[in-house]
Amino acid sequence: MTSDAPQVPTRDNGIFRPEMIFVIGAPRSGTTMLERMLSSHSQILGGPEPHLITPLAHLGVWDKVDKAPYDAILAAEAQKLFVSRLPRGEADYWDACRAYCDILYGRYLQAHGPGKRYCLDKTPAYALVLPFLARIYPDARYVVLTRHPIAVFASFAESFFDDDWQEAHRHNPIIERYVPAIADFLRQDTPSRIHVRYEDLVRQPEPEFQRICAYLDLPFEQEAIEYGRAEKDTLHQQGLGDPTGVNRHQRPTTASVSKWVAALLDHPDRIELMRRALAKVSDEDLNTVGYPRETLWAPLEKAGAMKVKPPWASLTRYRIERKIIVRGRALVRRVPALRRFLQRCRLFLDVLLREQ
């Protein structure tokens, strides 16, 4: 049963405890589009990706940072010893993590969404620290979005690596990392969650968004689906997120559902790369996220010998920047002298810009 009345965040020891929504999904799986839809709802405040949880998860108690400006091993052991001497042990540590997040989320909600019920955080990297996040926010609502794994990787390679699939995989093997992590989360009994497939959301946005609103105990608002027609706000303008796709559309579209097929045709090296990546993911995990192995390659097999021309991508400033970065990285790897020169330049600039 939904409630139209805005709900005020509760207080706990003087700290506002906002009701939280976390959109969980791999990079390039449609999470930005879903976040825009949810943020267009009158009772939800969204915004740019805050990346609060991932650094907090690697302070040493839960997990450590191997490369940090301190001795990560000593810091982790020292913090664990300190936590063990607290009155309630780890329970006090989790309370502290929750208080830290509640203050930031709560004050963000109060400043930018007074009267709204939920604060929403959509940061794809959270999918890799879900057990930690669930310990801090066991009472949050989790909207888990999954997409065809090859479609995710194809979009990732195109958007961030100028369609260099090998370099994209070297940088981040997202299929092997994200599919098992999300599948394991979906199999857990708690916390509360709803699973949405990207393909279902863009093909039938109304019933899927109705299902999401019912899960969130919110009234369905048709206008939220038309997220591009909503009044432009400044919260999303400088934030991280989808740099190439979501701003081109006003509502969910099926334009990218089978785009990955064209990216694989006549590219046996890419097909082999995806076969190797998927071989490292279990059948159980693929079934759990909604893409059984026996159906994964069906769109490509259906295309067969048909020549499917990949859609032309406009040359935006972002794409030009990515081309320069990708080609620059490759050049630095090939020319050791250039790498040494740039390292000396970086040292010089670090000294020049060092705060007094």
Domain parsing of the chain, residue ranges: 10-312, 314-356
| Residue 169 pLDDT | 96
| Residue 228 pLDDT | 73
Give Cβ neighbours of residue 66 (< 8 Å, ≥ 6 apart): 72
Contact (CB, 8 A) for 192 and 142: yes
**DSSP code string of 287-352:** HHHT--HHHHTHHHHHHTT---PPPPPP--HHHHHHHHHHHHHHHHHH-HHHHHHHHHHHHHHHHH
Contact (CB, 8 A) for 160 and 322: yes
Distance in angstroms between the alpha carbons of the first and the last residue of the chain: 59
- The strand pair at 141-146 and 19-24 is best described as parallel
| Residue 43 pLDDT | 95
Tell me how far apart the alpha carbons of residues 115 and 43 are, in angstroms, rounded to a whole number.
8
| Residue 242 pLDDT | 53
| Residue 9 pLDDT | 52
C-alpha to C-alpha distances, 161 to 30, 170, 245, 311, 331, nearest whole angstrom = 18, 11, 15, 17, 14
Give Cβ neighbours of residue 49 (< 8 Å, ≥ 6 apart): 121, 122, 123, 124, 239, 240, 241
| Residue 284 pLDDT | 98
pLDDT 10s digit of each residue in the chain, 356 long? 344 444 445 556 667 789 999 999 999 999 999 999 999 999 999 988 888 888 888 887 788 776 445 566 666 788 888 889 999 999 999 999 999 999 999 999 999 998 999 999 999 999 999 999 999 999 999 999 999 999 999 999 998 888 899 989 998 999 999 999 999 999 999 999 999 999 999 999 999 999 999 999 999 999 999 887 765 555 555 554 455 555 666 777 877 788 899 999 889 999 999 999 999 999 999 999 999 999 999 999 887 645 555 555 566 666 677 678 777 877 888 888 888 888 888 878 877 877 64
Length of the chain: 356
Q: Which of 158, 254, 159 is nearest to 202 (CA)?
A: 254
Q: Which of 293, 299, 290 is nearest to 198 (CA)?
A: 290
Domain boundaries 10-312, CATH class: alpha beta
C-alpha to C-alpha distances, 284 to 179, 180, 343, nearest whole angstrom = 10, 9, 45
